[in-house]
Homo-oligomer: A and B are copies of this chain.
């Protein structure tokens, strides 16, 4: 396992974009920040020679990413079968921050932050690491929740596969700020600017079978 160091990640052929290089960063804090601000990633892998992209929950623990799922699910099963070599994956996390409306259609854009992690995923078989990873995934979605729920029992653990991916080959790409119109377009009559994209949480909806008197805990995300 890697340990966290303050140094940047090393750019590689895969992580240096062919264009808009000024939008790419290998800064460790920037990478962690993008990864920690979401809980759903898009995991890409190859099945029968073709790409597959599935949304899934994940968590970062230091320089490792954990993904879990049913032992019957395809990427997790595949990683299990190829334990020696690892399963080549690409784990991508994207935040959309704003719609950028330029005067020209060409310069329309999106303000965003995304992290793209390339690597090989390995099944996690050690009991303690599996338990830690499962707690981390629950707490990544709702910090504090794992301690306030019944932990997985032996049967449930047997149904759950966990895979691990080291954060080594990674880049963050981002765009922020207003439109970049051509000088000759500045006099056009079209409104131009950014429409911020927001995300948040609504009021918690108790389950139908929740016993009276159990109030929403303080760690729930605020609306």
Cα A191 to Cα B209 in complex, Å, equals: 10
A88-B50, A148-B190, A178-B207 in contact; A42/B94 too (CB < 8 A)? yes
Closest partner residue, chain B, to A201 (CB atom): B195
Of the listed stretches A3-11, A24-32, A104-112, A122-130, chain B binds A104-112
* A116: B residues at CB distance < 8 A: 52-54
* A1: B residues at CB distance < 8 A: none
In A186-213, the 8 Å CB interface with B consists of: 186-211
Digitize A81-117: 1 where CB-to-B-CB distance is under 8 Å, 0 elsewhere. Answer: 0000000111110101011011111101010101010
**A43 near B: Cβ within 8 Å?**
yes
Chain A contact residue count (CB 8 A cutoff)? 100
Cα A25 to Cα B216 in complex, Å, equals: 33
A112-B55, A193-B210, A195-B221 in contact; A152/B105 too (CB < 8 A)? yes
Closest Cβ–Cβ distance, residue A130 to chain B (whole Å): 12
Q: Is the CB of A214 within 8 A of B189?
A: yes
Q: Is the CB of A102 within 8 A of B149?
A: yes
Q: Is the CB of B191 within 8 A of A214?
A: yes
Q: Is the CB of A70 within 8 A of B19?
A: yes
Closest partner residue, chain B, to A213 (CB atom): B189
Digitize A39-55: 1 where CB-to-B-CB distance is under 8 Å, 0 elsewhere. Answer: 01011111111111111
Q: Is the CB of B53 within 8 A of A92?
A: yes
Would you mind naming 28 contact pairs between A and B with Cβ atoms under 8 Å apart?
Answer: A14-B50, A14-B52, A18-B74, A40-B96, A46-B50, A50-B90, A50-B118, A51-B88, A53-B116, A99-B201, A103-B149, A105-B138, A106-B160, A108-B141, A110-B141, A148-B190, A150-B190, A190-B214, A191-B216, A191-B217, A192-B206, A192-B210, A193-B207, A194-B205, A195-B204, A195-B205, A196-B203, A197-B202
